Structure 1
């Protein structure tokens, strides 16, 4: 029996992997690279369907760690009951903050300044000027103030926003100011010009942005979703978009991928990108650093980073 680690990145492309483990490359192929029972550290394939990530779980009878390369762990949570007790589930905190925050700002600025309309006008050879909303002097509400939410605020500050309001699962205080609990959202939404969703998908946050949430947003406000598609109730959002009361910029949708004939594609006032918040040139070096660090900690029996839960506890 060997101590295998399954990696979705070819091992020869990762410098500094520790001795004491046998690296196996598996990125969702039909055939497994070795006996799953020998795998002690499973790194989930990145940007693959959930069923791919879940497929080997029942056979990983000797696994100690399941490591995602995504910030969220919702793709593997449905299969945790297939794992033995004591398996640590870790996320990729530290990998996606820069790229996702960049896209959140890109979507916000592009939507406010009307960039999609300008691109369409360029295709038609039309010169359509006029005034557009600015990000400066606006109030921005960040729902989901973890490491990604904090990185989004880092990038908002130079744009001279009037105020950043922070919301997370529970209240706390940061160097920048208070973080409000989710229960404060009804009182906070009416004052926000831009609402950015960067929260994990959990039972609590599924359809967090429902009809009531959206109705509390001020007229003309912009909803930006870089979290997970099901954080937003799609039908409720479509109703608001069709009324023209709010606009939206969505990197994630429900369903996803968005079917060709889905009404979100043609709804007024919406910008859709195909879940590209994480996969940029910044991903690979950060992901590799995380894996080397985690595997070194694992071999040396040191505490792992980013442990979300331990099965059976």
Structure 2
């Protein structure tokens, strides 16, 4: 761990993981551990690199930012940064906001595939039958020969396709904000969504939450999905219009598998809990045994670049002014 700067220049790094547990951190920086506890580990004004605590409430995670006058980097451990963006204009000009692109690919893609298979093969019904001691035999849909549409083809979307490949899908169609070519084939632009939806047996939402995607899966989107199709959301709850989805699943026309919901956490008694054909997991795409080793590597690699004065990866925004600017 670095010693204090005799000139008093800010050079603290706040980490949500104890620094002694992260191998290979660069020298020349002073590492302190803060995981959203009530007391700060050091003067926030001396912090230059703030790694946001993972899975803590937004208010607590944002609390020290107002006092971080020397801040240069905010590093999230999430792919989405919508919880940090509202504070960006209050940060010192030039502060970089970096996300955790790549960190959750394996874990989230695993869950996406789990949700698809569990929903299609009726696993929730079998679990309930087991609890009741009942043998409920019958045919269920397979993933084989199904057409899958991935809405949001970033690193997580690509990782989902990696895991779909052995399952003999009839077709995997990729869609993102802008069109491009990949080694697997074309990625269609978001403007093609209406034309692509009716052909998909499974629609996977893996897109970031932005003003363009908020409420994307609304009444018209859902109405264009084919009868019996499965909607899988491992992105953000507010991408789906909950009331519109409830109407479709209540009629039995669509199925849904949701790792995220709106509202979230889903309150007891909410109609989604008991809606027919809906499988819900409590936003567990990221938190798995795959998280910690990848989080440590991300922080080490980003701090190595930072200490060397080199451009950081995954910069998604930059503060242009502060509150007084």
TM-score of the aligned structures, taking structure 2 as reference length: 0.95
Question: What is the aligned counterpart of 2:273 among 265, 268, 274?
Answer: 265
Instruction: State the match for 2:319 in structure 1.
Output: 311
Instruction: State the match for 2:170 in structure 1.
Output: 162
Q: CA deviation at 1:82?
A: 1.2
DSSP 3-state at the match of 1:55: helix
Which has the higher mean CA deviation after the structures are superposed, 49-58 or 239-248? 49-58
DSSP 3-state at the match of 2:13: strand
Instruction: State the match for 2:128 in structure 1.
Output: 120
Instruction: State the match for 1:196 in structure 2.
Output: 204
Question: What is the aligned counterpart of 1:52 among 33, 55, 60?
Answer: 60
DSSP 3-state at the match of 2:243: helix
Quick check: 1:65–1:87 contact (8 Å CA) kept in 2? Answer: yes
Q: CA deviation at 1:29?
A: 1.0
Q: Is it true that 1:256 corresponds to 2:234 in the alignment?
A: no
Quick check: 2:209–2:239 contact (8 Å CA) kept in 1? Answer: yes
Instruction: State the match for 2:306 in structure 1.
Output: 298
Quick check: 2:88–2:318 contact (8 Å CA) kept in 1? Answer: no
DSSP 3-state at the match of 2:87: helix
Q: CA deviation at 1:12?
A: 1.4
User: Which blocks of at least 5 consecutive residues in structure 1 are unaligned?
Assistant: none
Using the alignment, how far apart are the partners of 1:132 and 1:188 within structure 2? Answer: 25
- Runs of 4+ residues deviating >6 angstroms: none
Which has the higher mean CA deviation after the structures are superposed, 113-122 or 175-184? 175-184
Q: Is it true that 1:69 corresponds to 2:77 in the alignment?
A: yes
Instruction: State the match for 1:275 in structure 2.
Output: 283
Matches within 5 A, 1:112-261: 112-261=120-269
Question: For residues 195-225 of structure 1, what are the alpha-carbon distances to aligned partners after superposition, in whole Å with 9 as ceiling and x for unaligned?
Answer: 0000001111101101110010000000000
TM-score of the aligned structures, taking structure 1 as reference length: 0.98
Q: CA deviation at 1:297?
A: 0.6
User: Which blocks of at least 5 consecutive residues in structure 2 are unaligned?
Assistant: 1-7
DSSP 3-state at the match of 2:129: helix
Q: CA deviation at 1:271?
A: 0.4
Q: CA deviation at 1:58?
A: 1.4
Quick check: 1:252–1:274 contact (8 Å CA) kept in 2? Answer: yes
Superposition RMSD on alpha carbons, in Å? 0.9
Question: For residues 62-100 of structure 1, what are the alpha-carbon distances to aligned partners after superposition, in whole Å with 9 as ceiling and x for unaligned?
Answer: 100000001111111111111011011111112100000
